[in-house]
Structures are given as C-alpha cells and as structure tokens.
C-alpha cells in the first residue's frame, strides 16, 4: 500500500493509555508532510481511562473524520481482543496489523508489547507499531523520525525513535515481506 | 513553535485539532480576555490559547475560571468594556452559566463576545446529549454550527464580527467530532488588538431593573429579526436543484458526513442538499421556500430538531420530530446511510452494524482514588455513597459510587439523603466524595448549606491536585490558573474550615489501613459535629513530575494466592487479572504503587522496593 497517491482510510483501536492518539497523530503528520489532505478523529475524556479507544485517519479528499463500516483499508490494533470487535470496519481485502503474539486471524501480527518489554521500552509498543506501519505504507524512516521530533515530548523522544526503528526493522524482516 | 511549524508547515497550513483551530481564531480575532472551565470535549481550547499566549508573549488574559458562570461573567465585563472576549465550555457547563447568558442577551455587548459551547452527541463523555443550539434559541442569541476544524476556525472569526455588528453575544457550537477531529487548516496570523478599554455608563442597560428590561427584550427581538436577513443566515444549496422531489437540509458535521457518503453513492446524485451554517435564528421564509419547492424534505442535524422546529409548515418535513431519524444518540455515517436510502426510496444495501462491546473505562493503575474508595467501602460498608463529576465517578466500578447528578451535587445530595433518612430507626452512614477541582467549581455553597442546616455526613475531598479527567488543568488549589498572574494556590483545609466544618483531617489514601480508621472516626465524629471533612491527598498518577518522587515497588503474586478473585473484583485495578490458577499482574500496566498488598485477604500480593 502506498499513501503517496492512494486515498487511504486507516482505523485504529486500542485501550486507553496505550498511545492510540500519538500513533494517529504521527501518521496524519506523515501523510500531510507528503502533501496529502488528512482528517482524523480521536477519543478523549473518560474513555481514555483504560476504556476502548478508537481513532480514524482519512487520507485524501474527505470532508468528515469518521470511517463508515466496511470502508477501512487498514485496521491497526494495539490490543487483539478490541481489534476483533472492529473487524467489520475493514473493506473486503483490507488488512489488519495487530499487536499480538498470536498470528492467527490477522494479516500482520507484531508482538510490540513483548518486544517493548524485552528492550526496556515499556510504554512504547505504539511506536513499534508505528515503525511497522510506516514500512508497510511506503514511508521513509527519516520522514517519520522528523515528525516524531516535532510532536514527541523531549523526555521520551529517544525512546520513541528507538521503538520506531525496531518496528521498522521488524517489518523489513523477510518473514513479513511475504505477500499476504 | 516556529521551528515546529517550519518542519511540517506548507503554505501556512498546519494540522490542528478542532479545538486548537478555535483557539487560533479567538486570538487572531483580537480577543483580550479568554476564559474557560475544563470539560470534554471543550478543554483543549483554553489549553491552546494559554500555550499561544505564552509562546507569542501576547497581552491576553487567559484563565481557567472557577466555574463556567464566573468565566462568562468575566468575559462579559471585558466585552462591555469594548474589548473582544471569548469563553469556552462544554454543554453542561452552559447550564451552570445559564443565568448570565440569559441576562447578557438582553443587555447586549460592545466588544465581540463569543461563547463557545461544545456539545457531545453520543454522549461520549457527558451526563446529557443536550443541544446547545436550543439554548441559543432560548436566550435569543445567534448560533453557528461548524462541521470541521476548518469551519470551526472560520466560523469563530465570523462570530466576532457578527457579535459586534448586532451587539449581541454569539454562540459557536462545535460537537465532539469537530472538537476532536484533526485537519490541515490555514493558520491565521495573530496580531493583538490595541483597542482601549472603554466603559460607557448606561445603568438602564447594564444594571437594568425590571421596567427597562422590557425595553431591552423588545430591542433583542428586533436584533433577532434583523439577524435572520444577515448573509450568514442564508440556506445554501450545495448539490442538486432547488426544485426536485427530495431534499435534505443539514448542518454541522452531519453535512460533512453526507458529502463524503455521496461521493460513493451515485444513486444519491440528484438529491438536493442544503447546508445551514447558522441554525438560529433562521429566516422562516427561506425554510418555507424549501418545503414548498420539494415533495419531501428531511432535516439532518445533531442532536435535537432545532432547524426542523423552525419550518413554518412541517407537513412534508421529516426528521427527529416524526422519528424518521432516531431522537437520541449520535448520527454517524453508519446510522445516516440507511435512513437516507430509505428516504430516497432506495433499497437498503448496507449491512446492519452490530454494536461492538466496548471495554469499560477504569481508574488508572496506581490512582489514589481507588485506594480511597476501597477504604471508604471497608470502613462503612452499609453507607450511601454520593459522588460527583470527574475521573472518580469510575469509583462506581468498585461499588463505592451510588449517585452522580451534576457538578457539586455529591455534597447537596449527601445532605438530602441525611434528611430523607434521619427519622429512620438506623439511618445509613453517608459519605460524599468529590474531586478538588469539582469542589472549587460547585462544592463550596452546598458545604456551607449543609453546615447551617444540620446535615450529618462524611465529606471526602479526593485531592489529586489537578483537574484530571479533562487532561490535568490547574485548579484554584494548585494555583497558576491565569496566563498573566502567579498564585501559589489556596488551602483546601482553610476553605473547608471557612465553610464552618470543625474537623478537617488530611490523609494519603495509599495508607489503606490508616485511611479506613480515619473514615470510621470521621463518621463517629459526625454524630456531634455534623459534617466532618477528610482530604484524601495524593497527586494524580498521570502527573509525570510526581511519578519520579513516589516510592515504586516490583509487585508479585506469591504461592499463597488461591485465585479467590477478591482483589480483581473489590479493588478493580486494571493491572490485576484472573489467570488460570492465580491472579496475574500485567507488568505493562502496573504502576508499582504497592497499595494492593493491603487488599489481598491472604497477603499473597508482595511488594519489593525497586
């Protein structure tokens, strides 16, 4: 998939506190940097206290931020059970990129939480997922780093860039390059 | 800021949250006083104003006011001093500010006064789905209904001009989906306005007694009438012809949804689609023209039938009133599409959407509110627990919140329950819980009231030194609520004592056994002293500065765990889950607060200092 010239609708789901907002914000800034029009929708308030949080990003000529059911090109899940509840958002042929140890049911499974814990990057599973996704949507790694530098608090910037790199490399691994 | 925009800016465009776009518009319009009280979905408006004022060193007074009524009154005084002013709040905040809004509409303004009220169809993070456009109609002030961050910006700027043109407060009413959408918008430059303050004394207006009020009401009616002929009041035909069998009238985000759906729906091609930017006041003649020109008209708006009610004749008008459109809940594209298909006589080809089960929100791991609630329940298990608006409403997951009516009601309801039960043989203990920010907002008058009317209950102020749920804004207790004034913060202890409460005890709820004892003692004391207050003081776990200073533990489950599930059910920490043979701790969620060691009946949760 290439967001440089295709209208793309990306639906994201996770649990409050996992960093869905930062993931969505980073992807929108990356697409905007490539000269695309973007509109996103975010969840704020009480749901962010550990509840189900969703976010949508529409790249292209769209007026409204919500993605209708059956229209998402990509479904990114930070939590596998929550993701299963939103599979109806995908269009036929759409792909899922999910943070899970379990490869079944999803197009791409990335054990971002496990990797984050092993690498001492607690709390950065969302950035590992972002690294994976940008590889998939044909985005330059350094473009993504530049965006993170502009939106990330200084305190966690180094950790975020490291996580981004790990995610990007994971996607570059051979086993993920097999076509699905 | 500058470096940041250079990085991602092209043609002075920037991706902004709807609320950020409103903040830019307010400052670009030259507002010199901007006030607000935090509330989802409006909170980021003033946060952004504060940030821009600081970064660009603007001569603007921005403040987190104690509540919305105060916020509005301050902005109003600035406005009648001939200066531009803005006030932002969520829709239920407007209920609190209702008194000054109604009266300000009669008096009118001098410098533009824009009241930004964010509605929450759904509701996603509110007590009600009330439609503030009805409030604007009630107060007889114009209201603009933006449908995107871009429109939120342009309409807020237009609102200042409209306000000065007709000398009336103007409401801008975004909804959650506009406030929390991000979109690239052309960012306007900010040049502070240099208009001097000027207050022309006119007591028959600014201090009018009932007699002159009638004159002001007649003046207001004349204003409303002339606004219906303003270009902003126009109904725009944006698709199809002005004569066809079916027409849809939409405003705000519902128009944006329809526009997007239409792109993929060739069968909607001939539909006449009208857009309304100012849902009140509308020109009845232009609405009448629409209903006469089409066989059937459907009005699509959130959340109540404000435009629909203004049609002089509704014989062929469909919408919320006749339940063609559901009269509760958000109108998402998935809900709208089949409704429009049916209206157009098309077969429903769209799949039915099954509702997804959502994970319920929960207090954060390490949140001191959880410890306080657990202790209250242990100390007074047969109590009635009144509570309030904030993160801590989630204490209901622990069974420690029985009521949540509106801001400040924990305290008045506690008094009400006391009077309801006082003649019973064994009245239940009553414990009111209220957050620090909510206490300042609306908790002081009911505290005074409870003392002077002889109510007896335990009042627990959950003091986490922030307005947590809306994104951690400051409170009068923490100080630093204004952009141009430093204050160290007021003492909750002194305020409670000033309310007439004789015993005020401060305690960190992380010490669960100690806190249980204090709640029991406070209850005993309330028999003779009426209201006894406990300040449960521990900073919010989301406050990064405090996380560094707090003792952290590595938590583990010992072999003594028999998977009874008591901790999971009664303590409800998101880091504790039922495993197969034991409880398990999710290390990605656990904050290491160590509080749960007090909870396990078998002492099977172990804390080792890091």
Q: State pLDDT tens for residues B263-304.
A: 888 888 889 999 999 999 999 999 999 999 999 999 999 999
Q: Inter-axis angle of helices B149-166 and B18-28, to 10 degrees?
A: 30
Within 8 A of A159 by CB-CB distance, chain B residues are none
The pLDDT assigned to B6 comes to 34
Residue in chain B lying closest to A118 (CA):
B588
Tell me the shortest Cα–Cα distance from A11 to chain B, in angstroms: 14
Name the pLDDT band for B354 (thresholds 50, 70, 90).
Answer: low
Tell me the shortest Cα–Cα distance from B11 to chain A, in angstroms: 11
Q: Inter-axis angle of helices B444-452 and B409-421, to 10 degrees?
A: 20
Within 8 A of B394 by CB-CB distance, chain A residues are 46, 49
Contacts of B91 (CB under 8 A, 6+ apart): B117, B118, B119, B120, B126, B128, B130, B131, B132
Q: State pLDDT tens for residues A85-136.
A: 899 999 999 999 999 988 778 999 999 999 999 999 988 999 999 999 999 8
Pick from A39-48, B506-515, B545-554 the range whose average pLDDT is largest.
B506-515
Counted domains in chain B: 4
Name the pLDDT band for B350 (thresholds 50, 70, 90).
Answer: low
Report the Cα B33 to chain-centroid distance in Å: 20
B7 has a pLDDT exceeding 60: no
The pLDDT assigned to A95 comes to 95
Residues B435 and B555 in one domain: no
B92 has a pLDDT exceeding 90: yes
Name the pLDDT band for B362 (thresholds 50, 70, 90).
Answer: very high
Count other Cβ atoms within 10 Å, centred on residue A118. Answer: 10
B3 has a pLDDT exceeding 70: no
The pLDDT assigned to B4 comes to 35
- A103/B contact by beta carbon, under 8 A: no
Name the pLDDT band for B242 (thresholds 50, 70, 90).
Answer: confident
Residues B97 and B210 in one domain: yes
Residue from A7, A62, A65 whose CB has the most chain B CBs within 10 Å, to mutate: A65
CB contact under 8 A, A63 and B259: yes
The pLDDT assigned to A58 comes to 97
B405 has a pLDDT exceeding 60: yes
Residues B462 and B477 in one domain: yes
**Is residue B356 situated within a structural domain?**
no
Find the mean pLDDT for residues B393-415: 97
The pLDDT assigned to B355 comes to 63
d(CA B7, CA A33): 9
* Domain regions of chain A by residue span: 8-170
The pLDDT assigned to B349 comes to 64
**Is residue B444 situated within a structural domain?**
yes
Q: State pLDDT tens for residues B192-210.
A: 888 999 999 999 999 999 9
Per DSSP, the residues of B345-389 read: T----SPPPPPPPPPPP-PPTT-HHHHHHHHHHHH-TT-EEEE-S
B222 has a pLDDT exceeding 70: yes
Name the pLDDT band for B2 (thresholds 50, 70, 90).
Answer: very low
The CATH number assigned to the domain holding B582 equals 3.30.70.20
Closest to A123 in 3D by CA, of A152, A81, A85: A152
Q: State pLDDT tens for residues B12-22.
A: 899 999 999 99
A169 has a pLDDT exceeding 50: yes
Residues B46 and B176 in one domain: yes
In b/e form, how buried is each residue of B469-483, taking b as 16+ CB within 10 angstroms?
Answer: bbbbbbbbbbeebbb
Helix/strand/coil (H/E/C) assignment for every residue in B442-507: HHHHHHHHHHHCCCCEEEEEEECCCECCCCCECCCCCCCCECCECCCCCCHHHHHHHCCCCCEEEE
A180: buried, middle or exposed (CB in 10 Å: 19+, 13-18, 0-12)?
exposed
A65, A69, A82 ranked by CB distance to B359: nearest: A82
Tell me the shortest Cα–Cα distance from A98 to chain B, in angstroms: 17
Within 8 A of A125 by CB-CB distance, chain B residues are 588
The pLDDT assigned to B351 comes to 63
Residues B126 and B214 in one domain: yes
Find the mean pLDDT for residues A163-175: 85
Within 8 A of B587 by CB-CB distance, chain A residues are 117, 122
The pLDDT assigned to B138 comes to 98
Torsion of CA B551, B556, B562, B565, to 10 degrees: 60
Lowest mean pLDDT among B173-187, B352-366, B460-474, B593-607: B352-366
CB contact under 8 A, B41 and A44: yes
- A41/B contact by beta carbon, under 8 A: yes
Closest to A49 in 3D by CA, of B241, B576, B366: B366
A38, A48, A52 ranked by CB distance to B358: nearest: A52
Look-up of token digits 């007694």: B209
Name the pLDDT band for B151 (thresholds 50, 70, 90).
Answer: very high
Report the Cα B299 to chain-centroid distance in Å: 27
The pLDDT assigned to B519 comes to 98
- A9/B contact by beta carbon, under 8 A: no
Within 8 A of B15 by CB-CB distance, chain A residues are 28-29, 32, 38
Tell me the shortest Cα–Cα distance from B469 to chain A, in angstroms: 6
Mean pLDDT for chain B?
94
Mean pLDDT for chain A?
89
Residue-number span of the structural domain to which B566 is assigned: 551-609
Q: Number of A to B CB contacts under 8 A, please give it.
A: 141
Within 8 A of A49 by CB-CB distance, chain B residues are 361-364, 391, 394, 469
> B86 φ, ψ to 5°?
-140, 150
**Is residue B350 situated within a structural domain?**
no
Contacts of B554 (CB under 8 A, 6+ apart): B592, B607, B608, B609, B610
The CATH number assigned to the domain holding B207 equals 3.40.50.970
B309 has a pLDDT exceeding 90: yes
Q: State pLDDT tens for residues B565-585.
A: 999 999 999 999 999 999 999
Within 8 A of B332 by CB-CB distance, chain A residues are 66, 68
Residues B491 and B395 in one domain: yes
Q: State pLDDT tens for residues B100-115.
A: 999 999 999 999 999 9
Tell me the shortest Cα–Cα distance from A49 to chain B, in angstroms: 5
Contacts of B95 (CB under 8 A, 6+ apart): B130, B406
A50, A122, A146 ranked by CB distance to B574: nearest: A50
Tell me the shortest Cα–Cα distance from B192 to chain A, in angstroms: 27
Residues B578 and B429 in one domain: no
Name the pLDDT band for B360 (thresholds 50, 70, 90).
Answer: confident
Tell me the C-alpha to C-alpha distance, in Å, between residue A72 and each of B235, B262, B335: 33, 17, 17
**Is residue B352 situated within a structural domain?**
no
Name the pLDDT band for B10 (thresholds 50, 70, 90).
Answer: very low
Last residue of a domain, one of B209, B227, B245: B227
Alpha helices in B231-315 (DSSP H): 253-263, 284-293, 306-309
Find the mean pLDDT for residues B416-444: 98
pLDDT > 70 fraction of chain B, expressed in percent and rounded = 97
Query: Is the link from the previous residue into B123 a cis peptide, with omega within 30 of 0?
Result: yes
The pLDDT assigned to A179 comes to 42
What CATH number labels A8-170? 3.40.920.10
The pLDDT assigned to A45 comes to 67
Within 8 A of B182 by CB-CB distance, chain A residues are 25, 28, 38-40, 42, 65
If residue A89 lies in a helix (H) or strand (E), which one and from where to where? none
Query: How would you classify the pairing of strands B85-90 and B143-144?
Result: unpaired
């Amino acid at each position: 998939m290439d967001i440089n010239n295709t209208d793309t609708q990306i639906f994201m789901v996770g649990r409050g506190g996992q960093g869905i907002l930062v993931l969505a914000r980073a992807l929108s800034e990356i697409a905007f940097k490539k000269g695309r029009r973007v509109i996103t929708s975010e969840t704020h308030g009480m749901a962010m206290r550990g509840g189900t949080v969703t976010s949508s990003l529409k790249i292209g000529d769209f007026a409204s931020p919500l993605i209708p059911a059956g229209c998402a090109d990509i479904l990114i899940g930070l939590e596998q059970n929550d993701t299963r509840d939103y599979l109806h958002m995908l269009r036929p042929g759409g792909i899922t990129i999910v943070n899970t140890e379990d490869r079944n049911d999803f197009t791409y499974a990335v054990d971002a939480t496990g990797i984050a814990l092993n690498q001492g990057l607690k709390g950065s599973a969302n950035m590992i997922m972002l690294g994976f996704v940008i590889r998939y949507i044909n985005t330059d790694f350094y473009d993504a780093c530049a965006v993170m530098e502009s939106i990330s608090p200084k305190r966690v910037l180094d950790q975020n860039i490291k996580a981004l790199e790990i995610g990007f490399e994971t996607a570059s691994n051979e086993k993920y390059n097999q076509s699905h | 800021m500058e470096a940041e925009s250079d990085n991602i800016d092209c043609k002075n465009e920037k991706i902004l949250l709807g609320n950020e776009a409103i903040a830019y518009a307010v400052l670009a319009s030259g507002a010199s006083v901007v006030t607000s009280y935090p509330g989802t979905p409006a909170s980021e408006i003033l946060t952004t104003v504060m940030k821009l004022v600081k970064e660009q060193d603007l001569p603007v007074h921005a403040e987190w006011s104690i509540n919305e009524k105060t916020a509005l009154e301050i902005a109003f005084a600035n406005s009648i001093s001939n200066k531009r002013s803005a006030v932002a709040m969520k829709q239920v905040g407007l209920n609190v500010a209702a008194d000054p809004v109604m009266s300000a509409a009669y008096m009118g303004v001098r410098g533009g006064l824009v009241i930004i009220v964010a509605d929450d169809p759904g509701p996603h993070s509110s007590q009600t789905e009330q439609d503030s456009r009805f409030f604007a109609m009630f107060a007889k002030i114009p209201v603009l209904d933006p449908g995107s961050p871009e429109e939120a910006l342009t309409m807020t700027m237009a609102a200042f001009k409209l306000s000065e043109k007709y000398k009336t407060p103007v409401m801008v009413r975004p909804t959650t989906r506009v406030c929390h959408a991000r979109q690239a918008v052309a960012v306007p430059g900010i040049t502070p306005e240099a208009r001097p303050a000027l207050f022309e004394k006119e007591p028959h207006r600014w201090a009018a007694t009932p007699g002159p009020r009638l004159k002001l009401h007649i003046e207001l009616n004349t204003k409303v009438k002339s606004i219906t002929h303003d270009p902003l009041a126009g109904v725009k035909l944006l698709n199809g012809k002005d004569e066809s069998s079916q027409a849809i009238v939409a405003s705000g985000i519902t128009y944006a949804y329809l526009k997007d759906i239409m792109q993929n729906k060739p069968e909607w091609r001939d539909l006449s689609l009208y857009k309304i930017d100012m849902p009140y006041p509308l020109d009845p003649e232009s609405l009448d023209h629409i209903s006469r020109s089409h066989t059937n008209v459907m009005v699509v708006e959130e959340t109540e039938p404000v435009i629909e009610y203004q049609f002089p004749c509704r014989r062929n008008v469909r919408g919320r009133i006749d339940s063609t459109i559901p009269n509760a809940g958000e109108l998402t594209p998935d809900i709208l599409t089949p409704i429009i298909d049916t209206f157009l006589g098309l077969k429903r080809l769209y799949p039915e959407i099954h509702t997804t089960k959502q994970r319920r929100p929960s207090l954060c791991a390490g949140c001191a509110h959880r410890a306080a609630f657990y202790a209250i329940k242990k100390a007074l298990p047969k109590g009635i627990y009144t509570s309030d608006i904030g993160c801590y409403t989630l204490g209901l997951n622990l069974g420690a919140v029985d009521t949540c009516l509106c801001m400040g009601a924990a305290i008045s309801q506690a008094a009400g329950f006391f009077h309801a039960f006082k003649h019973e043989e064994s009245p239940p203990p009553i414990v009111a819980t209220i957050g620090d920010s909510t206490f300042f907002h609306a908790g002081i008058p009911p505290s005074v009231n409870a003392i002077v009317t002889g109510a007896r209950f335990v009042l627990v102020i959950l003091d986490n030194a922030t307005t947590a749920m809306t994104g951690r804004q400051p409170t009068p207790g923490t100080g630093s609520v204004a952009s141009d004034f430093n204050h160290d913060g007021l003492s909750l202890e002194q305020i409670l004592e000033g309310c007439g409460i004789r015993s005020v005890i401060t305690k960190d709820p992380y010490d669960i056994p100690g806190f249980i004892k204090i709640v029991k003692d406070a209850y005993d004391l309330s028999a003779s002293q009426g209201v006894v207050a406990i300040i449960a003081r521990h900073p919010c776990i989301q406050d990064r500065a405090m996380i560094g200073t707090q003792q952290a533990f590595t938590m583990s489950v010992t072999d003594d765990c028999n998977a009874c599930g008591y901790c999971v059910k009664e303590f409800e920490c998101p880091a504790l889950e039922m495993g197969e043979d034991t409880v398990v701790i999710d290390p990605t969620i656990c904050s290491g607060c160590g509080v749960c060691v007090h909870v396990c009946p078998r002492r099977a949760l172990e804390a080792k200092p890091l």
